[in-house]
Structures are given as C-alpha cells and as structure tokens.
Structure 1
C-alpha cells in the first residue's frame, strides 16, 4: 500500500500537527506501509529529521496568496510558479505570516475550500498532476479538514480514497470572524461529501467535528495520537524547590497568560517555598510582544527572577526540559483536540494539571496522570496545582502511572497500527463505511 500524506508546513516554527504527521510517516514506513509526505504552502519544521520521503513543496503559499489577490497569477506558466515555490524564499516570507489580516485569511480559506471553483484552481491542477506522475497513491491522506477542497479533484482523477485527519481546526475557523467563519463552515460541510473518511485524533474531537460538520456516524473514526518514546523516561522530578512547567506555543491560545496569573497567585500565597516557573515552546516573531507582556507582569509582581522562558527547543532539548519539571500545566483558552504536550510530559513521568474540557478529561482518565480544574478559573487552577505540588507522593504516583499508560497506549507505533487498520478497511472492495473507531 502506498500513502501520500499532504501536510501544510509552517516555514519557521514547530507545530504539533507537523511533528505528529512526520512521526506518523516514519512509523508507517517502518511497518511496511510506503508513505510520502508532501508539504503544502510552506516548508515543514519538525523537531526530528523530516520523513525520508519528503517531496517538493506544492500549493506554495506565495502562489496561493498571489492567485487570491491578482487574477493574472491564476494564468502564469508553471516555470514561473516554481520560482515562487522555492523553499528558501517561502521560509523567509513565513516570518511575515503574522502580518496577514483576518480578512485575508478568511478569503483564502474560503477560496481553498471551494476547490476547483476557487481562485487556486491552478494549484490544485498542479498538485493532482504531480500525484498522477510521481505520487501513484493507493490512498491520499489530508492532514486537516481545511484541505477538504482538494478531495473532489483527487478522487475524480486518481480514483483512490481520500482520508482527512481532524486535529484542531475548529478554533481556527471560529477565529476568522464574520462573515468568513460561517461561510467557511458552510463550505466545509459541503466539501466533506467528497472525503471518504475523517480520522479524528481523539474520540472527543471526532464527536465535536461530527456535530459541527453534520457528518454521519460512519464518516468519522478516532485514532489517538502517539509519540516516539526514544529518549523519554522517568525523570528526577525536582521537589526542592518544585518547578511548575509549561510547554506549548508561547501565545494566548495555549493559556500562557493564565498560567502566569496562576503562578503569581501561588507565589503570593507563600504555601510552596521557592516555587519556580519554566515556560518553553515555539515562539514566532508575532508572539514576542505577548511574551514581553508576560515578563512585565511578572516583573511588576516581583517574581520575574523565579521564571525562565526557553524558546524553540530541539527534540532533545525538549525532552530534557520536560524532565526538569515537577508538574506541567497548559491551560488552553479553548477546548483542545488532543494536546501532544500532555503525553510528552507523562512519558517523562511528569504529572499534568489541565482544564476539564476538550480531550483532557479523556486523556486524564486513560492515563491517571494528572488532575483537572475548572476552565479559565485562576483560583481553582491555583488550588489544583497547589494540591499536587504539595503532595510529593501523589505527584510521583500520578507521574509514574501516566508514564506506564503512555508507554502502553500512546506510542507512535500504536497510532500507526491504528491508521493502517483504517487504510485497509477503507481500501477493501465495496467497504467505504467504517462504523467503529479504530485504534482507541
């Protein structure tokens, strides 16, 4: 079986979807399922070497933008388009991605969901031609539902199943604002008919998107995310002084500002002597103002000296960072579809404290590796963290229990096996209706 996975890149920062898709491709290949990963829009940035089957960038971000804005570029020759798909150029331009307005994002998202009826029809033509000449897939796997506009043309010309991963797109669509949010949701519901099957990264998110996209039960399955365990292992959790940790993108949606507020609350209580905060993760140029604001807040409260910010870590440095924590908490401002950082922390034996919404309740129940608090409630957040930070025995038990459960249930091998099961069932003659979730 040959799978072509289409994954949007970020150009200049690590993202959970890229990391997850790259790890999945490696493991599928290791299991004998030949997999090519094709980056779309921008180069992929992963915390491990990119999949050996990585291909040239298609649906290049600059071409997509120019074709959206200027009709002339919808008719330019391929040799010129290839110049605009140069990875070095796209990587440089990605530094300015944060300057794109919500209106422009809304327009381009809507246009891409319209497929061949949108302004990027030429790019779809190039992509399908490449798949026919070089890809030769038995299955095409789209990394997220924002790519669903590609499905109709791929199925029509290649005659192969098109599957679509669901991994957190609702927050982006909701953030587009009027009128684009409603228009994009409506377009997504329409093009969903062209996708053979949607694969959610958690049962919670499968149910969420099934409802929001008006999908029938047989069109959605769930396969939990997984990680490579190499390098992870029991940590020497610091308890004197304890270290509260955060590892995700350093921006508001992941709740760094709430964690800073909660940390200040804990320091003011003086119940945990010497408490430190370590915040690590991806930071883009557009995040720097927000990070400075958090440092100013901490400085005004008199606690900046107890806090360390670490940006854009390598895979190895990330593992060492996680091992240096007592407890991890990423109080997202939205209902998270999964949260790789939860299982990464648990793989290091570090317990977590997460908001009681999204996929977190399921992950805590599956692993026993942490506690839940009321979403966006700083006082309850502080109380819950305080309980775990003060009870060393409980924290150790939860961390070790979580580590063992992650080793059993949330490995990249487990994820890849679940995906192969889905591939085989959707490829079976006359069987494109999968009723039960796979790999859960």
Structure 2
C-alpha cells in the first residue's frame, strides 16, 4: 500500500507529533508498505533516524504567511520563493514560534481551514498538484485536524480516502480570539465531512472530538500513539539518582502545568520530608516563553531552592533519553485534558513512574500501564502529597516502574501503533475500492 503522511514540522525542537509520525512511517515500512513522510511548514525534528531525510518542506510556513498577507505573493519570481522556503530561512523562522500576534494566529488558522476559498490556496494548491501528479498514494494521511482544509480538494481530485489523526487540536483552537475561534470550529466541522476516518490517540479524545467535529462515532477509531523504544537507550550507564529527582518534560508553559509543578515542589521542599529532593525541568522553550520562565525562576529563588532546580531547554533526542533515565518520577500536570501525552509513554517505557492529574487521557493511560498515580488537577498541594508518598515508598515506586516499563512497551510501541494503523488503512482502502466509480 502506498501511504502519504503529511506532517507539520517544528524546525528547531522535538515535538510529539513529529516523533510519532516518524516512528509510524518507519514501522509501516517494516510491515511492507510504501510509506512516505512529507514535512510541511518547517523542517521535521525527530530522532537520529529520520524517515525521509531527502524530502524537503513542501509548503513552507514563511511563504504561506506571506501569501496570506499579500495575495500577489505566488506571482513573484521563483528565486524569491526558493529563498523564503529555504531550510535556513525556515529554521530561523522556527525560533520565532509563539511571537505571532493573536490576530495573525487566528487569521492564519482560519485561512488554512478555508481551503480553496482562502487566500493561502495558491500555495496549498501546488502541494495538491504534486500529490495528484506524482505521489500515487492509495491513502492520504493528515497528521492533525488543522490540515483538513486540504481534505475537500484532495478527496475530489485524487479519489483516494483521507485519514486524519487527532493530536489535541481543541486545546489550540479554543485559545484563539474571537471571531476566529468560532470560525475555525465551523470550518473544521464542514471539512470533517470530507475525511474518511479520524484516528484518535485515546477513547477520551475520540469522544471530545466526535462532538467538536459533529461526526458520529463510526467516523472515529482509537489508535494509541506509539514510540520506537529501541532508540530509548541511555548514552551512558545510569543508576538510581543520588537524590530523589522529579522530572518535567514538555513545553515550558503554564498550560502544561509547569506552574502547578513548581508550586508543588516548593511545598514539598519546605516540608523537608525528602531531603535533597530535586526538580529537573526539560522540554521545548521559545523566545515567547522567556518572560513566564523568568517569573517561575524568581519564585523558586525567593523560596530559597534555586540550587535544587535545573532548567534544560530544547534537549537533543539523545540528551532527552538520558534525562528520562535519570529521574525518580515524572510529572507534567497539564491544566487541560490532554489527548494522550506522549511524554507519559516515553517515561514509562524506560521505567519511570508518573504522577498526573485526574483528567484527559491520563486515567485511561495509567489504567493500561499501572505505572503511575492520579491526583486532583490544578492543585499543588494534592500534587505535592502524591509526589511525596511515591518518593518515600521505594518498594512501591520500583514495582510501579517495572510494571510501567513492561506495559508501556507492550501497548505503546511503534510496532503496535503501526499494526493498529494498518487495520484502519486497509479498511478505508478496501471500502474505497468497492465503492461505485463515477461514470
């Protein structure tokens, strides 16, 4: 089966969607499929073994922005297009993520979802032309629902089924200012009619997006995210941390619960029940996050625990893996209902138990892995108590870590994800082949 996967890149930092899609394409190839991963917006940042290093970005984010702002942009000389879509320009632009105004962000999102009716279409149309002329795909997969402005044209012009993965889009769309939030949801619902099947990473998120997109449960299939755990070996030998170490691994923002975790750590450190306890904060950081992080650092410094907290932004893949192996427990107490939380599978797959809030997909994941503790959301005191109890009970923590490692690797591997994904692809392509063809 010829599978085409369209995935937005980040350009300068690791992202769960990029890692997931890269692992998926490689695992589908192992299963005998001709699978191609095509980056959009910015270059992909994955592990050391990229699925398609020869594939450049097809739709550059800078060119797309300029097309939206200046409708004549697509008519400018080709050398200008080559420059704005060059890897160096795109990687520079990636460092400015998060600096876009709320209005521009809303306009760009709606413009993309408008598809053929939007000002961005001359750029998107070049991608559709390429897919129709050269991709020869049996099925076209979109990495997330924010790409489904492409679905009507792709389905009409290729006649192939369109599969769309879901990756937590509601958390983004719901932060847009009005009128763009309402416009975006209306366009998502309209474009959803042209998607053959949606793939959700959890039962929780399937229910959320079934309502948000106004599609029936038959349009949704649950395929948990997966990881190639073979690449998660430490670069140097590890052992139990000399001091109990709490880790955080996600974007360094309030929404991922970093404020809650910092407040919980301060409460725990003041209690002195776990002498020498440390907090290591890692994950994506952009310029837009600097002010927020500076405020947290000030809070920690004023509490007197600056020397017990480390900040490790934008780790390489190898350093991220090493980081995970050096933790006693991980917590990313997101303030909203996560669709999955790949960092949970990553941590548990190397034997690190987690403490997570009781919402989103977290209870569902931890029921499967039996490798973590659930506590009340947005409550630093409850989080501090849960972390304290786990760190004080070595036997329970070690047993939980061992169980989590086995179960996470059994249920959330790239191989398992590809196996389940393959079933969906075979279903939609078989159904499409049996459908009556237009005269």
Gaps of 5+ in 2: none
Deviation at 1:168, TM superposition (A): 0.7
- The residue aligned with 2:65 is 65
Q: 1:252 to 1:280 in 2, by over 3 A?
A: same
- The residue aligned with 1:400 is 402
Q: Is the 8 A contact 1:8 1:18 kept in 2?
A: yes
Deviation at 1:430, TM superposition (A): 5.0
Q: Is the 8 A contact 1:145 1:164 kept in 2?
A: yes
Q: 1:417 to 1:323 in 2, by over 3 A?
A: same
Gaps of 5+ in 1: 434-440
- The residue aligned with 1:259 is 261
Report which stretch shifted further, 341-350 or 230-239: 230-239
- The residue aligned with 2:245 is 243
Q: Distance in 1 between matches of 2:281 and 2:105?
A: 29
- The residue aligned with 1:32 is 32
- The residue aligned with 1:279 is 281
Q: Is the 8 A contact 1:38 1:54 kept in 2?
A: no
- The residue aligned with 1:55 is 55
Q: 1:232 to 1:6 in 2, by over 3 A?
A: closer
Deviation at 1:48, TM superposition (A): 2.9
Q: 2:141 is paired with a residue of what secondary structure?
A: strand
Q: 1:87 to 1:244 in 2, by over 3 A?
A: same
TM alignment of 1:145-184, pairs within 5 A: 145-184=145-184
Report which stretch shifted further, 59-68 or 229-238: 229-238
- The residue aligned with 2:119 is 119
Q: Distance in 1 between matches of 2:47 and 2:305?
A: 31
Q: Distance in 1 between matches of 2:102 and 2:218?
A: 34
Q: 1:26 to 1:430 in 2, by over 3 A?
A: closer
| TM-score normalised according to structure 2 size | 0.94
- The residue aligned with 1:377 is 379
Q: Is the 8 A contact 1:223 1:419 kept in 2?
A: yes
Q: 1:196 to 1:77 in 2, by over 3 A?
A: farther
Report which stretch shifted further, 228-237 or 269-278: 228-237
- The residue aligned with 1:348 is 350
2:351 equivalent to 1:314: no
Q: Is the 8 A contact 1:244 1:278 kept in 2?
A: yes
Q: 1:350 is paired with a residue of what secondary structure?
A: coil
Q: Distance in 2 between matches of 1:424 and 1:258?
A: 44
Output the aligned Cα RMSD.
Answer: 1.9
Deviation at 1:9, TM superposition (A): 1.1
Q: 1:58 is paired with a residue of what secondary structure?
A: coil
Deviation readout 1:348-368 (Å, 9 max, x if unpaired): 111100001011000110010
Aligned length: 433
Deviation at 1:233, TM superposition (A): 6.8
Q: Is the 8 A contact 2:148 2:191 kept in 1?
A: yes
Q: 1:178 is paired with a residue of what secondary structure?
A: coil
Q: Is the 8 A contact 2:160 2:432 kept in 1?
A: no
